[in-house]
Each structure stands twice: as structure tokens, then as C-alpha cells.
Chains A and B, each alone.
Chain A
Amino acid sequence: MKILWGGLLLLAAGVIQWLWAANLSFLGPPPQLMLVLTVAASIVFGSVWGQSLGFLGGLWLDVLGARMFGGTALSLCWIGYGAGLLRRQMDVSNIASQLAVVFAASLAHGLVMRTLGFFFMRHWGETGFFAFMGGAVLNALAAPLAFAVAAYVEKRHG
């Protein structure tokens, strides 16, 4: 049952991210819900869940994208593993810590993607500093909802 819920959450995150990008582009780039879901799943369900959702979600984004097939999957998988390690070190039950963790994860994801881009495409990427930080803030704002949904699933089917 938990696998089904995980699949549904992944599907919902991908679809919302796609629809936002397609219909709400005037608000800027959408929050990276796959990343937020990966962090939330990793902290609430466990590292293996986070890595799996991150890898599959990243692969989905890579399929929909045009460049660096496998890059997002690798980055989100590592983020999931890192969030799983963090779970043992700090309490992530309050909203402030959730915001902080997702914000940090967003920065880490951006850095990993740029590094992978440099190694595999000889290109650092062109996202500006403010857009980069703005995206991280947007991801952090989506964190409480993702954690609440993950906690609900864990409570029902954990």
C-alpha cells in the first residue's frame, strides 16, 4: 500500500510541476516538487524510500528534459541519501526545520547539477544567483505540505 501511495505522490508531484510549467509560467519556474518529495519521503519514510522516489522522479524529469539523461536522477538519489542521514542527526518535525532542510537540499541539488553539467557537458549552466536562490525559497515554501502528506501516509500505512 505504501508503494502505491509513493507512486501516487510521485505522479502528483510530476503532474503538478508539469502543469505549473505549462500554464503558470508567468509566475516563474515551478517549485521542484520532485526534490521536495524526495526530501520529505527520505525523512519521513526512510532513506531507501527517498532514494527510490528521487531516482524515479529524477529519471522522469530527465526523460521529459532534453539534456544530461540521468543527471537529475543521480542528484535526487544523492539528496535522498543525504536527507536520510540527516534524519538521524536532527529533528525535522517542526516547519522551520523542514523549510531549512529543503532550502539546503535545493542548494545542494543546484550545485550537484552544475557540477554534473560541467563534467558531462562542459557547461556550468546559466541560472543567475537570484533565480537560483528564489527557486530554493519556492521549494522551501512547498516543504510543509509535502511533509504533511508524507506524514499522513506514514501514519495510515507505515
Chain B
Amino acid sequence: MNSRTRGTERIFLGVYTACALILLSLPINPWVAALKTVLIYCFLPPPYSAARAAGHFSEIPSNFARLLRVDQENQRLARESMDHEVAESQRKALIEENERLKSLLGIRPSLPWRHSWAKVVGRDMKGWNSLVWIDRGSDQGAAFNAPVLGTAQGKVGVLGRVVEVLPDASKVLLMSDELSALTVVVGEGRWEGLLEGSPSAFKVRYLPVAAKIGVGDEVWTSPSSLTFPPGILVGKVEKILPVDSYLPYREIQVRPAVHPGQVSHVLVLSPHKAVVPEERQGGLSP
């Protein structure tokens, strides 16, 4: 038995030694290279998996700390959310109070606006910056004189208004057309003036000479505009023109917030239909 065991040991020793010497002697032999590749596929996954698992375990403390921070932030956000809920309920109460007071005074209530997206499907070849065609017509709710807004660099700005409505398309007169005009307010002082369209830069006329306006002030649609809802960005003051001593007002140049060449999709606004209570119908209207 003992000699048999020794024989087995020697056989194993011989086989293993022969295999190892073959591998050592023929390192660039295709068969050895193939065997090495096979062994790599067999032997590499365990240590790699272990290393990845160890990496995950080593991240546990930092993940735990992050979890604690997230929990604290969550509690803070929950408190802020409650504050916002209170503010929201106050806002609703104020709106209701505002509507009630308006109805008591007989002031026409401001209507909420709804919007729909439209795609620019064509441009006028003769006046590239004068008008565009959009794929929304009367069948989709577009109406004559509906305000059209564009977006550029994450901001929404005035683009133009609908001047012709077909069943499936509409023609939009752009603010950059010389026929366009819009009442606007300028800067913090909310000086009101009339903006006239131009392909290069808008011009605002009829501003008081004493108006304190600076370059970079923002220009918004005015509450007195019959077409556009108030508070929509039109552009920024680019240049303050010198006061003409013969004119009782001053003029400024405005760089548009949305250039018509940038837009591919537009927002078409339309007011919700007003539901005017019967007792208010006889009231005064501004």
C-alpha cells in the first residue's frame, strides 16, 4: 500500500512537472496561448468579483453617511413643503378675495390663458423675418389675433400674433415685421411705451423723457395690451437713443428675447372662455 501510494505520488509529480515544463518551454506556442486564454477566462472572474464586492463593501460607510444626509435633507424639505402648502392656501385665498373685490367693483376679471404647442412649418420667402406658418388652425383652436410665444435659451418671449387662420394652419405675423406693434413696460419703473417691430432691433416710442431706463433693463408686455397677457418678456434694452429736443418723448432700442430665426416650435395662447355671472353682466367695465 505504501509503495503504491508513493508510486501514485511520483506519477502525479511527473505529470505535473511535464505539464509545467511544457508551458514554460513553449510560452509563445499557439496551443499554450490558447490554454492560457481559457485559463484566464476560468480563473479571472473570482478575484475580479471579489474585488468588486470589496469595493461595494468599502463604500458602505460613505453610503451610510450620504443616507443620513439625505434623511436630514428630506426632513428639511418636508418642513419647507408644509410652509409652501400654507403659502399656497394663502395665495388661493388672496386670489378668491381678489376676484370677489373685482366683482364688487365691476372690473372685468382677467382670464386665464391656455396654450398649445405648434410647429413652424413654413416661412415667407419674401420677408423671412416677417411671418411664419404654423401647423395649428381653427380646427385645433387657433384664433385670429392669438398671441404666439417662442422659446430661446430656456426663456419664453413674445414672437408675434396670428393674423390669418386656416382650418389646419395659421399665419403668424412676427414682431420683427414693421407692421407689428405692442404696448410694453420697461424696467423696474414700469414705464409704458409702444414697441414697433423691426427686422434688426425693436424700437419703443413714447417713453417719458424723465423715465429712468438703463441698458439691459427688461421689457415686458403691458397690462394694457389687448392682444398679449401682461408680464411676458419681449426683450432687453439694447440702446437708449438720444432725446430729440423737438419731441416730448424718448426712444429706446430693444434686443428681442426670442429671435424668429431660432424658433422651430411655438406656443399659441388663447384665453379660456369667460364665465360671467349674471349679476356681474351689468357691472362697469374698464
Contact = CB atoms under 8 A, between A and B. Distances in A.
A110 to B, nearest CB: 17
A60 B43 contact: yes
Nearest to B18: A74
Interface in B30-58: 32, 36, 39-40, 43-44, 46-47, 50-51, 54, 58
B8 A48 contact: yes
Contact of A55 (B8, B9, B20): B20
A116 B24 contact: yes
Given A14-B43, A22-B51, A77-B16, 19 more contacts: A18-B47, A18-B51, A19-B50, A19-B51, A47-B9, A47-B12, A48-B12, A51-B13, A59-B39, A60-B43, A63-B43, A69-B23, A69-B32, A73-B20, A74-B20, A74-B21, A74-B24, A84-B9, A120-B24
A103 interface: no
Given A69-B23, A77-B17, A77-B20, A48 B51 contact: no
A132 B109 CA distance: 92
A54 to B, nearest CB: 8
Interface of A: 11, 14-15, 18-19, 22-23, 46-48, 51-52, 55, 58-60, 62-64, 68-71, 73-74, 77-78, 81, 84, 116, 120
A122 B39 CA distance: 26
Contacts of B50: 15, 18-19
A71 B20 contact: yes
B16 A63 contact: no
Contacts of B51: 18-19, 22
Contacts of B5: 46
Contacts of A120: 24-25
A52 B12 contact: yes
9 contacts: A14-B43, A15-B50, A55-B20, A62-B23, A69-B23, A71-B20, A73-B20, A120-B24, A120-B25
Contacts of B44: 63-64
A45 B21 CA distance: 26
Contacts of A68: 24, 27
A86 to B, nearest CB: 13
Contact of B24 (A18, A19, A70): A70
Given A18-B51, A19-B54, A74-B20, A69 B46 contact: no
**Interface residue tally on B, bucketed by range:** 20 to 34
Given A15-B50, A64-B47, A81 B9 contact: yes
B22 interface: yes
B49 to A, nearest CB: 9
Contacts of A63: 36, 39-40, 43-44
B242 to A, nearest CB: 74
Given A19-B54, A51-B9, A73 B36 contact: no
Contact of B36 (A14, A69, A74, A84): A69
B20 A15 contact: no
Contacts of A15: 46-47, 50
A48 B15 CA distance: 11
Nearest to B35: A69
B171 to A, nearest CB: 69
Residue from A18, A46, A71 whose CB has the most chain B CB atoms within 10 Å: A18
Nearest to B50: A15
A71 B24 CA distance: 6
A64 B21 CA distance: 18
Which A-B residue pairs are the 3 nearest by beta carbons?
A: A70-B23, A74-B20, A18-B47
A156 to B, nearest CB: 22
A68 B28 CA distance: 11
A30 to B, nearest CB: 12
B43 A73 contact: no
A34 to B, nearest CB: 12
Contacts of A62: 23
A77 B16 CA distance: 7
Contact of B13 (A18, A19, A77, A116): A77
